[in-house]
Amino acid sequence: MNQPLEPMPDDWSRALAVVAHPDDLEYGAAGAIAAWTRAGKTVGYVIVTDGEAGIDGISPDDAAVLRQKEQVASAAIVGVEDVTFLHHPDGIVQYGSDLRRDITRQIRRSRPDILLTATPALTYGLGVGQRILNQADHRAVGIAVLDAARDAANRWIFPELLDEGLEPWGGTTDVYVFGADRPSHAVDVTGTLAVGVESLRTHRVYLDGLGRDFDPEAFLRGFTAHAGTALGVHHAVAFERIRLQGV
Ligand SMILES: [Zn+2]
d(CA 206, CA 216): 12
pLDDT digit string, tens, across residues 124-175: 987 778 899 999 999 999 999 999 999 999 999 999 999 999 999 999 999 9
Instruction: Give Rg (Cα) of the chain.
Output: 17
182 within some domain: yes
Which percentage of the chain shows pLDDT scores above 90? 88
Q: Residue 40: which domain range?
A: 13-243
The pLDDT, as a whole number, for residue 209 is: 85
d(CA 190, CA 30): 12
CA–centroid distance, 50 to ligand 1, in Å, is 11
CA–centroid distance, 134 to ligand 1, in Å, is 9
Range of weakest confidence among 90-94, 113-117, 125-129: 125-129
8 within some domain: no
pTM of the shown model:
0.96
7 within some domain: no
CA–centroid distance, 24 to ligand 1, in Å, is 5
68 within some domain: yes
Does an H or E element contain 126, and which?
Answer: none
1 within some domain: no
121 within some domain: yes
d(CA 22, CA 85): 9
197 within some domain: yes
**Domain CATH for 79:** 3.40.50.10320
Q: What is the total count of domains within the chain?
A: 1
The answer on pLDDT for 247 being more than 60 is no
CA–centroid distance, 20 to ligand 1, in Å, is 6
Does an H or E element contain 242, and which?
Answer: strand 236-243
Q: Which amino acid is at 120?
A: P
